[in-house]
Amino acid sequence: MTRTVLIAGAGGVGKTTVAAAAAVSAARAGLRTLVVTVDPARRLASALGLGNLGDEPQPHEDEPLLWAAMLDASASWRAVAERHAQPEVAARLVDNEFFAAASEHFPASQSYAAADQAATFVQARAWDLVVVDTPPSAGGIDFFAAPAQMADLVGGRLLRWITGGSLPGRRFFYDRAARPVLRLADSVLGSDLLSRVAEFLVDLRTTYDGVTQRGREIERVIGGASILVVTTAEPAPVAEAVRFFRELPGIATRPAAVVFNRSLPISWVDPKIPSGAPAELVANAERWGAETVRQADVRAGFAARYGARVATLPWSPLAPTDLEGLARLIDDAEGLPSDLFER
């Protein structure tokens, strides 16, 4: 049985570091562990043994039970086309001028690709634990809606909108009914934009059955995963963390914990000022003391309002960039549901 842990939350809060640290810690506790990361900082990637690009899991040279893989989210649409469309349609899709724009405009496609690849690793049953870092731009709650949104998109919602018909997807209807209307609209706008987009969507529609079926498998994997929401005490990431408790879709489980990264030690509230401490350091202690109070207040408010398990990771000025540093981060954490990363 492969356990899955999803590391979610707003961008810029240290998700990738937390995912890497959890994986190192689990590997050291005797679990065969794979960490799947998206776009790690260079030094973190090399700490994980990810020297060269490639989405195949690579065993770590110095950590016997640790594997790492890096997702290439930009390849997502290409993968969908190649897996689920007829070869000649796939070739036409990949070459289409709208293809790149659609993947850029549709962040769900990146999440879908990330979830798809992660699900493949989980289904391989080669690891005791798969730790999945979510994409920076879509690591929030929207990650969980991605398979459904993707199916909706290729399923022809846009195509219906563009053709106005209730039975789209068949070239016959498109040619006879919709195309003349689009031509008319295009002539007003001064281009053949709408017609070209519709052609593209008709091709995309052929991937629907494959995408829906795979989407259900992906949702099953997500549904079986434990979720750790990472945040800092800043208002924007906290607001994203809140969504995991107020709007979480039915397919996902309630987060196992909310991890407040960059937490200051509670002993900094109202510290004893040693006699003879320089005035500058006393003033500094007042500032950081106030910040510690604010952070503690945010955490306590979160725990009380949402009944969430709250964990803390200390503020380390230098993000850990080697195995020792990563393992230490988990050792220094408080309140983590450590059973997730132990045998």
**By CB under 8 A, which span of 28-36, 53-61, 221-229, 233-241 interacts with another protein?**
233-241
Distances (CA, A) of 311 to 122, 261, 263, 317: 26, 9, 9, 19
**By CB under 8 A, which span of 10-18, 121-129, 213-221, 252-260 interacts with another protein?**
10-18
Long-range contacts of range 267-271, CB-CB < 8 Å, 24 or more positions apart? 268/292, 269/293, 269/296
Element (H, E) at 7: strand 3-8
The SS3 call for residue 141 is helix
By the rule CB under 8 A, 47 interacts with another protein: no
Amino acid at 299: R
Residue of 24, 36, 41 lying closest to 70 (CA atoms): 36
Q: How far apart are CA 152 and CA 309, in angstroms?
A: 34
**By CB under 8 A, which span of 55-63, 82-90, 219-227, 278-286 interacts with another protein?**
278-286
Could you say which of 182, 228, 257, 311 contacts another protein (CB under 8 A)? 182
Q: CB of residue 298 vs another protein: minimum separation in angstroms?
A: 8
By the rule CB under 8 A, 291 interacts with another protein: yes
CB-based contact 2:238 (threshold 8 Å): no
Element (H, E) at 213: helix 208-223
For 264, list phi and psi in degrees, rounded to 5.
Answer: -95, 150
CB-based contact 232:313 (threshold 8 Å): no
By the rule CB under 8 A, 175 interacts with another protein: no
CB-based contact 244:226 (threshold 8 Å): no
**By CB under 8 A, which span of 27-35, 62-70, 190-198, 302-310 interacts with another protein?**
190-198
List the structure tokens of 107: 């962040």
List the structure tokens of 333: 């954490």
Could you say which of 265, 300, 334, 342 contacts another protein (CB under 8 A)? 265
By the rule CB under 8 A, 208 interacts with another protein: no
Q: CB of residue 236 vs another protein: minimum separation in angstroms?
A: 6
Q: How far apart are CA 72 and CA 258, in angstroms?
A: 27
Q: CB of residue 237 vs another protein: minimum separation in angstroms?
A: 6
Q: Which is nearer to another protein, 59 or 164 (CB)?
A: 164
Binding to another protein in span 93-112, by CB under 8 A: 97-98, 100-102, 104-106
Q: Which is nearer to another protein, 124 or 282 (CB)?
A: 282
Q: How far apart are CA 211 and CA 234, in angstroms?
A: 37
By the rule CB under 8 A, 246 interacts with another protein: no
Q: CB of residue 338 vs another protein: minimum separation in angstroms?
A: 25
**Interface residues with another protein (CB under 8 A)?**
10-13, 41, 97-98, 100-102, 104-106, 136-137, 153, 158-159, 161-162, 164, 181-182, 185, 188-191, 193-194, 196-197, 200-201, 234-237, 239, 264-265, 267-268, 271-274, 277-278, 280-282, 284-285, 287-291, 293-294, 297, 315, 317-319
